[in-house]
Amino acid sequence: MVTSVYAAQGDTVDAICWRIYGRTAGITEAVLEANPGLSDLGTIIPHGTLVALPDIAPQAQELQMVNLWD
């Protein structure tokens, strides 16, 4: 697993989370916690900013059940 990335031009924390983890729910908060002061830089992270990525266990895919008979 990647332990850190450099922000690309126009990156947000959500965009990095989606690109690396494939989701943002619960991940964005963990990345912000692992990077004190990152939120102080604004919504768009400055190009080249090193962002630490916490090791997060994969999330089980949630399946919805559909009832075809009532």
* pLDDT digit string, tens, across residues 36-70: 999 999 999 999 999 999 988 766 556 677 888 86
Cβ atoms within 10 Å, residue 53: 19
% of the chain at pLDDT higher than 70: 86
What's the pTM? 0.76
* pLDDT confidence of residue 53: 95
Residues 9-29, mean pLDDT to the nearest whole number? 94
| C-alpha neighbours within 13 Å on the C-beta side of residue 45 | 22
Instruction: Report if residue 70 sits inside a domain.
Output: no
Instruction: Report if residue 57 sits inside a domain.
Output: no
Instruction: Report if residue 67 sits inside a domain.
Output: no
* pLDDT confidence of residue 29: 94
Q: Which domain holds residue 23?
A: 4-52
Total domains in the chain come to 1
